[in-house]
Protein backbone atom coordinates (compact mmCIF):
# COMPACT_ATOMS: atom_id res chain seq x y z
CA UNK A 1 0.00 0.00 0.00
CA UNK A 2 1.36 3.44 -0.86
CA UNK A 3 1.62 5.66 2.26
CA UNK A 4 2.35 9.34 2.72
CA UNK A 5 5.55 9.88 4.74
CA UNK A 6 6.94 12.90 6.54
CA UNK A 7 10.38 14.27 5.76
CA UNK A 8 11.87 12.05 8.47
CA UNK A 9 10.41 8.93 6.90
CA UNK A 10 7.61 8.34 9.44
CA UNK A 11 3.92 8.02 8.65
CA UNK A 12 2.01 11.26 9.15
CA UNK A 13 -0.47 10.45 12.01
CA UNK A 14 -2.89 13.24 10.96
CA UNK A 15 -3.19 11.82 7.45
CA UNK A 16 -3.59 8.32 8.87
CA UNK A 17 -6.32 9.53 11.23
CA UNK A 18 -8.15 11.40 8.41
CA UNK A 19 -7.98 8.32 6.23
CA UNK A 20 -9.41 6.19 9.05
CA UNK A 21 -12.23 8.71 9.56
CA UNK A 22 -13.23 8.62 5.88
CA UNK A 23 -13.42 4.84 5.96
CA UNK A 24 -15.97 4.81 8.79
CA UNK A 25 -18.97 5.38 6.43
CA UNK A 26 -21.01 2.15 6.62
CA UNK A 27 -21.93 0.28 3.47
CA UNK A 28 -25.66 0.91 3.92
CA UNK A 29 -24.95 4.64 3.57
CA UNK A 30 -22.40 4.31 0.81
CA UNK A 31 -24.49 2.03 -1.42
CA UNK A 32 -27.31 4.56 -2.00
CA UNK A 33 -24.67 7.18 -2.82
CA UNK A 34 -23.16 4.90 -5.45
CA UNK A 35 -26.61 4.22 -6.91
CA UNK A 36 -27.32 7.94 -7.17
CA UNK A 37 -23.95 8.54 -8.81
CA UNK A 38 -24.54 5.69 -11.27
CA UNK A 39 -27.99 7.09 -12.12
CA UNK A 40 -26.56 10.57 -12.68
CA UNK A 41 -23.84 9.13 -14.90
CA UNK A 42 -26.47 7.30 -16.94
CA UNK A 43 -28.45 10.52 -17.37
CA UNK A 44 -25.35 12.43 -18.44
CA UNK A 45 -24.31 9.75 -20.91
CA UNK A 46 -27.85 9.69 -22.32
CA UNK A 47 -27.92 13.49 -22.62
CA UNK A 48 -24.51 14.11 -24.14
CA UNK A 49 -23.00 10.89 -25.51
CA UNK A 50 -25.06 7.76 -26.22
CA UNK A 51 -28.69 6.73 -26.08
CA UNK A 52 -30.45 3.42 -26.68
CA UNK A 53 -33.51 3.59 -28.93
CA UNK A 54 -36.26 1.00 -29.26
CA UNK A 55 -37.48 0.19 -32.81
CA UNK A 56 -41.32 0.33 -32.74
CA UNK A 57 -42.19 -0.23 -36.42
CA UNK A 58 -41.14 -2.18 -39.49
CA UNK A 59 -40.12 0.80 -41.64
CA UNK A 60 -36.41 -0.20 -41.51
CA UNK A 61 -36.77 -3.97 -42.02
CA UNK A 62 -34.75 -6.06 -42.51
CA UNK A 63 -31.91 -3.82 -41.38
CA UNK A 64 -33.77 -3.19 -38.11
CA UNK A 65 -36.62 -5.33 -36.78
CA UNK A 66 -39.44 -4.42 -34.44
CA UNK A 67 -38.13 -4.74 -30.88
CA UNK A 68 -34.47 -4.13 -31.75
CA UNK A 69 -32.53 -1.65 -29.66
CA UNK A 70 -29.87 0.48 -31.28
CA UNK A 71 -27.15 2.67 -29.84
CA UNK A 72 -27.18 6.26 -31.08
CA UNK A 73 -24.07 8.45 -31.08
CA UNK A 74 -25.26 11.93 -30.06
CA UNK A 75 -21.84 13.58 -30.36
CA UNK A 76 -20.75 12.80 -33.91
CA UNK A 77 -22.97 15.43 -35.55
CA UNK A 78 -21.68 18.11 -33.22
CA UNK A 79 -18.40 17.97 -35.18
CA UNK A 80 -19.72 17.13 -38.66
CA UNK A 81 -22.97 16.83 -40.60
CA UNK A 82 -24.58 13.50 -41.55
CA UNK A 83 -23.34 11.51 -44.56
CA UNK A 84 -25.28 9.64 -47.21
CA UNK A 85 -26.12 6.08 -46.22
CA UNK A 86 -25.97 6.64 -42.44
CA UNK A 87 -28.91 5.60 -40.29
CA UNK A 88 -30.08 8.52 -38.17
CA UNK A 89 -32.61 9.19 -35.42
CA UNK A 90 -34.42 12.51 -35.71
CA UNK A 91 -37.46 14.46 -34.57
CA UNK A 92 -40.03 14.64 -37.33
CA UNK A 93 -41.55 17.92 -38.46
CA UNK A 94 -45.28 18.67 -38.24
CA UNK A 95 -45.78 16.88 -41.56
CA UNK A 96 -44.43 13.58 -40.24
CA UNK A 97 -47.11 11.18 -39.02
CA UNK A 98 -46.27 9.03 -35.98
CA UNK A 99 -45.20 5.43 -36.69
CA UNK A 100 -45.33 4.18 -33.10
CA UNK A 101 -47.75 1.31 -32.51
CA UNK A 102 -50.74 2.25 -30.38
CA UNK A 103 -50.23 1.29 -26.75
CA UNK A 104 -52.68 1.43 -23.83
CA UNK A 105 -52.14 4.32 -21.46
CA UNK A 106 -49.98 3.16 -18.53
CA UNK A 107 -50.94 3.53 -14.90
CA UNK A 108 -49.07 5.54 -12.29
CA UNK A 109 -46.34 2.91 -11.92
CA UNK A 110 -46.04 2.63 -15.71
CA UNK A 111 -45.71 6.39 -16.11
CA UNK A 112 -43.05 6.50 -13.38
CA UNK A 113 -41.11 3.67 -15.04
CA UNK A 114 -41.35 5.45 -18.40
CA UNK A 115 -40.07 8.68 -16.85
CA UNK A 116 -37.05 6.89 -15.39
CA UNK A 117 -36.53 5.10 -18.69
CA UNK A 118 -36.62 8.43 -20.54
CA UNK A 119 -33.93 9.81 -18.25
CA UNK A 120 -31.53 6.93 -18.85
CA UNK A 121 -32.53 6.38 -22.49
CA UNK A 122 -34.09 2.88 -22.46
CA UNK A 123 -37.79 3.66 -22.90
CA UNK A 124 -39.97 3.52 -26.00
CA UNK A 125 -39.51 6.43 -28.42
CA UNK A 126 -41.84 9.37 -28.58
CA UNK A 127 -44.38 9.84 -31.36
CA UNK A 128 -42.08 12.26 -33.17
CA UNK A 129 -38.91 10.15 -32.96
CA UNK A 130 -38.05 8.46 -36.27
CA UNK A 131 -35.19 6.36 -37.60
CA UNK A 132 -34.37 6.34 -41.33
CA UNK A 133 -31.44 6.16 -43.74
CA UNK A 134 -29.93 9.33 -45.22
CA UNK A 135 -30.30 9.24 -49.01
CA UNK A 136 -29.70 12.85 -50.02
CA UNK A 137 -27.77 15.76 -48.53
CA UNK A 138 -28.37 19.50 -49.01
CA UNK A 139 -28.22 20.34 -52.71
CA UNK A 140 -28.57 16.72 -53.89
CA UNK A 141 -31.02 15.81 -56.68
CA UNK A 142 -32.93 12.69 -55.67
CA UNK A 143 -35.50 10.87 -57.80
CA UNK A 144 -36.86 7.49 -58.76
CA UNK A 145 -36.58 5.70 -60.96
CA UNK A 146 -34.00 4.88 -63.62
CA UNK A 147 -34.61 2.18 -66.26
CA UNK A 148 -33.96 -0.52 -63.64
CA UNK A 149 -36.25 0.97 -61.02
CA UNK A 150 -33.44 2.34 -58.86
CA UNK A 151 -33.27 5.55 -56.83
CA UNK A 152 -30.74 8.00 -58.25
CA UNK A 153 -28.79 10.69 -56.42
CA UNK A 154 -27.25 13.38 -58.64
CA UNK A 155 -27.76 11.03 -61.57
CA UNK A 156 -25.96 8.08 -59.91
CA UNK A 157 -28.16 4.99 -59.37
CA UNK A 158 -28.06 3.33 -55.96
CA UNK A 159 -27.69 -0.44 -55.74
CA UNK A 160 -29.64 -0.78 -52.51
CA UNK A 161 -29.01 -4.37 -51.49
CA UNK A 162 -30.35 -3.55 -48.03
CA UNK A 163 -33.85 -2.91 -49.49
CA UNK A 164 -35.52 -6.34 -49.51
CA UNK A 165 -39.12 -5.16 -49.96
CA UNK A 166 -39.42 -2.24 -52.33
CA UNK A 167 -42.49 -0.24 -53.30
CA UNK A 168 -44.33 -1.37 -56.46
CA UNK A 169 -43.41 0.29 -59.72
CA UNK A 170 -46.91 0.25 -61.20
CA UNK A 171 -48.50 2.53 -58.60
CA UNK A 172 -48.69 6.22 -59.59
CA UNK A 173 -47.00 8.71 -57.23
CA UNK A 174 -49.24 9.96 -54.43
CA UNK A 175 -48.06 12.94 -52.36
CA UNK A 176 -50.29 11.84 -49.48
CA UNK A 177 -48.61 8.45 -48.97
CA UNK A 178 -45.35 6.71 -49.84
CA UNK A 179 -46.65 3.49 -51.41
CA UNK A 180 -45.33 4.22 -54.89
CA UNK A 181 -41.70 3.71 -55.75
CA UNK A 182 -41.73 6.53 -58.28
CA UNK A 183 -41.32 10.17 -57.32
CA UNK A 184 -40.25 13.26 -59.24
CA UNK A 185 -36.84 14.81 -58.83
CA UNK A 186 -36.40 16.58 -55.50
CA UNK A 187 -33.63 19.08 -54.85
CA UNK A 188 -32.84 18.78 -51.14
CA UNK A 189 -33.09 22.27 -49.58
CA UNK A 190 -30.15 23.81 -47.69
CA UNK A 191 -29.79 22.54 -44.14
CA UNK A 192 -32.06 19.51 -44.70
CA UNK A 193 -31.82 15.76 -45.41
CA UNK A 194 -33.76 13.42 -47.68
CA UNK A 195 -34.33 10.22 -45.69
CA UNK A 196 -36.02 6.92 -46.52
CA UNK A 197 -36.79 3.70 -44.69
CA UNK A 198 -35.28 0.41 -45.87
CA UNK A 199 -38.72 -1.26 -46.06
CA UNK A 200 -40.11 0.94 -48.84
CA UNK A 201 -43.56 -0.68 -48.91
CA UNK A 202 -44.50 0.55 -45.43
CA UNK A 203 -42.06 3.39 -44.70
CA UNK A 204 -43.60 6.85 -44.55
CA UNK A 205 -40.60 9.05 -45.25
CA UNK A 206 -39.30 12.04 -47.20
CA UNK A 207 -40.99 10.83 -50.39
CA UNK A 208 -44.34 12.07 -49.08
CA UNK A 209 -43.58 13.82 -45.77
CA UNK A 210 -40.76 16.07 -46.91
CA UNK A 211 -37.08 16.50 -45.98
CA UNK A 212 -35.87 16.75 -42.39
CA UNK A 213 -33.88 19.67 -40.95
CA UNK A 214 -30.37 18.68 -39.95
CA UNK A 215 -30.94 20.47 -36.65
CA UNK A 216 -33.67 17.90 -35.87
CA UNK A 217 -31.21 15.00 -36.03
CA UNK A 218 -30.61 13.44 -32.61
CA UNK A 219 -27.66 11.32 -33.65
CA UNK A 220 -26.35 8.43 -35.71
CA UNK A 221 -27.52 4.87 -35.03
CA UNK A 222 -24.32 2.86 -35.30
CA UNK A 223 -25.00 -0.52 -33.67
CA UNK A 224 -27.76 -3.01 -32.88
CA UNK A 225 -27.24 -4.02 -29.25
CA UNK A 226 -30.39 -6.03 -28.47
CA UNK A 227 -31.32 -8.81 -28.82
CA UNK A 228 -27.85 -10.25 -28.47
CA UNK A 229 -28.39 -12.57 -31.43
CA UNK A 230 -28.61 -9.50 -33.69
CA UNK A 231 -25.50 -7.62 -32.53
CA UNK A 232 -24.17 -5.84 -35.59
CA UNK A 233 -22.78 -2.53 -36.77
CA UNK A 234 -24.89 -0.19 -38.93
CA UNK A 235 -22.31 0.70 -41.54
CA UNK A 236 -22.67 2.82 -44.68
CA UNK A 237 -23.42 0.66 -47.77
CA UNK A 238 -20.67 0.87 -50.41
CA UNK A 239 -23.08 2.09 -53.12
CA UNK A 240 -23.00 5.61 -51.61
CA UNK A 241 -19.27 5.86 -52.32
CA UNK A 242 -20.08 6.30 -56.01
CA UNK A 243 -22.33 9.32 -55.48
CA UNK A 244 -20.83 12.71 -56.24
CA UNK A 245 -22.49 16.08 -56.41
CA UNK A 246 -22.94 19.54 -55.00
CA UNK A 247 -24.01 18.53 -51.52
CA UNK A 248 -20.76 19.42 -49.76
CA UNK A 249 -20.89 22.99 -51.04
CA UNK A 250 -24.60 23.62 -50.63
CA UNK A 251 -25.25 27.36 -50.15
CA UNK A 252 -26.90 28.25 -46.91
CA UNK A 253 -26.08 24.96 -45.22
CA UNK A 254 -25.59 25.25 -41.46
CA UNK A 255 -22.00 25.55 -40.27
CA UNK A 256 -20.24 22.84 -38.35
CA UNK A 257 -21.42 23.04 -34.77
CA UNK A 258 -18.98 23.00 -31.83
CA UNK A 259 -18.85 20.09 -29.46
CA UNK A 260 -20.77 20.87 -26.24
CA UNK A 261 -18.65 21.05 -23.12
CA UNK A 262 -21.46 20.95 -20.57
CA UNK A 263 -21.20 17.20 -20.11
CA UNK A 264 -17.54 17.46 -19.15
CA UNK A 265 -18.28 20.10 -16.53
CA UNK A 266 -21.15 18.11 -15.05
CA UNK A 267 -18.91 15.06 -14.69
CA UNK A 268 -16.60 16.82 -12.23
CA UNK A 269 -18.84 16.66 -9.12
CA UNK A 270 -19.64 13.02 -9.88
CA UNK A 271 -15.96 12.21 -10.10
CA UNK A 272 -15.46 13.88 -6.73
CA UNK A 273 -18.26 11.82 -5.21
CA UNK A 274 -16.79 8.61 -6.58
CA UNK A 275 -13.37 9.54 -5.23
CA UNK A 276 -14.84 9.58 -1.72
CA UNK A 277 -16.43 6.16 -2.15
CA UNK A 278 -14.92 3.22 -0.28
CA UNK A 279 -15.40 0.94 -3.29
CA UNK A 280 -13.69 3.42 -5.58
CA UNK A 281 -10.82 3.96 -3.11
CA UNK A 282 -10.31 0.22 -2.83
CA UNK A 283 -9.85 0.04 -6.61
CA UNK A 284 -7.33 2.86 -6.51
CA UNK A 285 -5.42 1.31 -3.63
CA UNK A 286 -5.30 -2.05 -5.36
CA UNK A 287 -3.74 -0.38 -8.37
CA UNK A 288 -1.19 1.38 -6.15
CA UNK A 289 0.11 -1.70 -4.37
Q: Which residues are catalytically annotated?
A: 59, 132
SS3 category, 62: coil
DSSP 3-state assignment of 35? Answer: helix
C-alpha–C-alpha distance, residues 43 and 180, integer Å: 42
Distance from chain centroid for Cα 9: 55
Rounded to whole angstroms, the Cα distance separating 136 from 143 reads: 10
3-state secondary structure of 213: strand
CA dist 160 and 149 (Å) reads 11
Q: State the Cα–Cα distance between residues 213 and 136, nearest whole angstrom.
A: 12
Decide: 194 and 142 in contact? Cβ < 8 Å.
Answer: yes
Q: Cα separation of 238 and 218, whole Å?
A: 24
In the chain, alpha helices (H): 13-22, 27-48, 108-120, 206-209, 262-275, 278-288
Determine the Cα–Cα distance for residues 146 and 160; give it in Å rounded to an integer.
Answer: 13
**Are residues 186 and 221 in contact, defined by beta-carbon separation less than 8 angstroms?**
no
Amino acid sequence: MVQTLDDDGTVDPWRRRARRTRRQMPLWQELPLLLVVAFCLAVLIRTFLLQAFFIPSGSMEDTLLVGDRVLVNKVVYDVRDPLRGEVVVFRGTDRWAPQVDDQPKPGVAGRLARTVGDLVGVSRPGEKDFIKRVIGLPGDRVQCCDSQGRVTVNGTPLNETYVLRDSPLDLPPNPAECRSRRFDEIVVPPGQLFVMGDHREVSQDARCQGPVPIDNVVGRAFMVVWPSSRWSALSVPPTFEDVTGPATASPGAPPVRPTPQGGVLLMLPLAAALRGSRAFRSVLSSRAT
